[in-house]
Structures are given as C-alpha cells and as structure tokens.
Chain A
C-alpha cells in the first residue's frame, strides 16, 4: 500500500512538473516568436525588411526548437522551418509580398500550436 501511494505521488509529481514546464516553455517560446514574426511582417509590409531580420527570427527559432521537439509533433516544427526558409529566399530577392505570405503562415502557426496545449473542448475531443 505504501509503495502504491508513493508511486502515485511520484508519478503525479512528474506529470505535474512536466505539464507546468511544458506550458511555460511553449507559451514563452511562441510568445517571443510571435512578436518577432509580427515585427518582421510589419517591415515586409513597409518593404524595408532585410534578410538579417528573417535570419534573426530563424536563429531564435533554431535555439528553441531543440527542446520544442520533445513536446510538439516534429512535422509541425518542420513546417515552420520550411516557411522561414522560403521567407528568407523571397526577402533576398526583394519579393516582399511573397515573403509576407510565408511569415503570415508562421504567425498563424505560432498562435495555433500553443493553443493545442490548452485544456479546451476542441482539444480534448
């Protein structure tokens, strides 16, 4: 009985700590990512964005994605990787409209992915 109760306490503690860490890390990472993307999108709209701006977003994303792999499906991470890479190429070619479209998709994903971790009816069922 003691072992049983102890194992429950330890397991619940692991799950709770894991859930809190996951929630904080994901929301923090995606909030910052979202802000960076938003700033880049504004610059793209004003047609004064440089590849350095997108590289900065990519650098931030690469620094966070290593840990994010533990929590979110790898396909979603790969999707963001590809959209950012495309945005870099379009910005390099001064095709701001296309680049803006790619960044817009990244913005949408940066809102959707953390939402998947919220306890909501649509996420549960």
Chain B
C-alpha cells in the first residue's frame, strides 16, 4: 500500500511539472492535440501508478515522450501557420452576411440543429440575431451579435438541409402543406433548395435558400396554430 502511495506521489509530481511546463489551458480551451495529449498522459500515469510489477520509469519516460512531442508541436505551430492549421484546425465561419453556411457546417460534421443549439448556449435564440458566428478550433462558438435584432419569440426549425422536421411541425400544430405553400409563395418549388427555414411565434420567418442570401419576412399563423 505504501509503495503504491509513493509511486502515485512520484507520478503526480512528474505530471504537475509536465503540465505546468506545457502551460496547459482550461479543458474547454484546449486545442484538439492538447486534449489528446492530456487524455494520453492521464492513462500513461495511471497504469504504473497502480501496477507495482511495472517499473515506474516506464510511466515517467512515456509522459516525458508525450511532453517532448507536445513542446515540438508548439514550436512548429509558432513557426508555421499552415502546420498550426493542419494540427489544430482553423476557425470556420458558419454564419456570415448571407446567413447560415451549410457547406462550412458539413465540413465540420455539424448540422443546422447543432448550430442552433450552440447559438442558444451563447444566448442567441435566432439565426438572424447574429451577424457572424465562428466555430473556433477548440470547438467553441464565437458570435458577433446583430444589435438591431431583438428576439421576442423562440424560432423553431422546420426545414434543415432540404428536409422537413415533422416533429417540430406537430409541436407547433402546423403541417407540411403549410410549409410547402409558404415556400411556393416565395417562388421555391424544390424543397431540397431550402437550407434553413425557421418560424418564430410571431410569424417571423428566416429562410435560407441554396446559393442565396437569407430572407426575413412575416407570415400569418392561423388561429388554430399554437403560438410559441
């Protein structure tokens, strides 16, 4: 028991020194490779800590090897911007002046609903309430808010990437024909050309068509329609 305790103390001390030298940021602010390194280091330290049949030096050398790689990557990142982009990725603008950029979202393996969720976390409930939104390399969403827009009702996503969200339609007591007629009035015949369509409880529509800037307009919601 005492042996395990002493081994744990030695490894913990090694980890503290290594982490301090790495200048580790908070978990949420880590670059992808830093996150991987942190996971690896934790695992590398754990095994020799608890298994007394493994020489302690195995753990220390592995941690040291990962540390050397981390420091080398940090130096190369400072030297070359291309290398930094290759290893850590780069920010991607998912909302610009033209609205939601579906291609950029897809490049990051994300969907419109993921974007809306991230926006809600930043306190922005509507897609038009931000001028720009960027997914940083560490996965956090940064937004430049549109101060002219005030959101009074929660917008609900009805069409994303050419597909109607039937669950949301039912929730808001709307039907597919309502959406199709709405699109017809906007001279859109093909549903697959609609990248995003949201409607809020006041009837404010956010419509983003493929290769076109987004549009905002109002529609009348029927009396039987549940206002949200």
Contact = CB atoms under 8 A, between A and B. Distances in A.
Interface of A: 1, 3-5, 7-8, 11-12, 14-15, 18, 69-75
A1 B78 CA distance: 9
B61 A15 contact: yes
B46 interface: no
B55 A69 contact: yes
Nearest to A22: B57
A1 B75 contact: yes
Given A1-B78, A4-B71, A11 B54 contact: no
A108 to B, nearest CB: 20
Given A11-B67, A12-B68, A15-B64, A74 B52 contact: yes
Interface in B191-223: none
A73 B78 contact: no
B54 A7 contact: no
Interface of B: 21, 52-57, 61, 64-65, 67-68, 71-72, 74-75, 78
A70 B65 CA distance: 18
Given A8-B75, A73-B53, 8 more contacts: A1-B75, A7-B21, A11-B64, A11-B67, A14-B64, A15-B61, A70-B55, A71-B57
Contact of B72 (A1, A8, A15): A8
A73 B54 contact: yes
Contact of A75 (B21, B53, B56, B75): B53
Q: Is the interface of B mostly helix, strand, loop or mixed?
A: helix
Contacts of A70: 55-57
Given A1-B75, A1-B78, A7-B71, A71 B64 contact: no
A74 B75 contact: no
A15 B65 contact: yes
5 contacts: A5-B75, A7-B67, A11-B64, A71-B55, A74-B55
A14 B54 CA distance: 20
Contacts of A1: 75, 78
Contacts of B65: 15
A11 B64 CA distance: 7
Nearest to B67: A11
A73 B56 CA distance: 10
A46 B61 CA distance: 46
A8 B71 contact: yes
Given A1-B75, A4-B71, A73 B64 contact: no
